[in-house]
Amino acid sequence: MNEHIKLGNEAIRRGDSDTAIKEFYEALNDPSTLTQRIARNRLMELCPETVYASTHSYQALYHRPNCSAKNVIQARHIKWYKDWNEAEANGHVPCQTCRPSRIKPSQRG
């Protein structure tokens, strides 16, 4: 297993979420897709965020606030949600480019 994943998991056990987040972001640079997937999933658990979706799209995707898709969506067609759960409850699916966080609010650390 990647050293950053190990250090991040140890930081979580200690209750140090800031260090854990840094380690998991470092693990995203690993060439192994498995390591990257583990790091992304751990970050989704640690960093829930608001998301947005287009009200005028056939794909019904929701995105992270910094996703480049916002550049092509007209402002009047952007709908904000408090988290992925609310977006999915309204029929949206996660963007495969920006991969928004998918943690339930009750699971927050």
Query: Is pLDDT at 104 greater than 60 in this prediction?
Result: no
One domain for residues 22 and 40: yes
Q: Please, how many CA atoms are within 13 Å of residue 23, restricted to the half-sphere of its CB?
A: 19
pTM confidence score? 0.51
| Percent of the chain surpassing pLDDT 90 | 29
One domain for residues 66 and 100: yes
Backbone angles phi, psi at 49, to 5 degrees: -150, 160
One domain for residues 38 and 56: no
Confidence of residue 57 (pLDDT cuts 50, 70, 90): confident
Which of 40, 74, 37 has its CA nearest to residue 55? 74
One domain for residues 83 and 99: yes
Report pLDDT for 16. Answer: 92
Q: What is the pLDDT of residues 71-90, one digit of tens each?
A: 888 888 888 887 788 888 99
One domain for residues 57 and 33: no
Element (H, E) at 85: helix 84-89
**DSSP character at residue 15:** T
Domain that holds residue 34: 3-46
One domain for residues 65 and 97: yes
Residue showing tokens 């056939």: 58
One domain for residues 63 and 35: no
One domain for residues 17 and 63: no
Report pLDDT for 103. Answer: 54
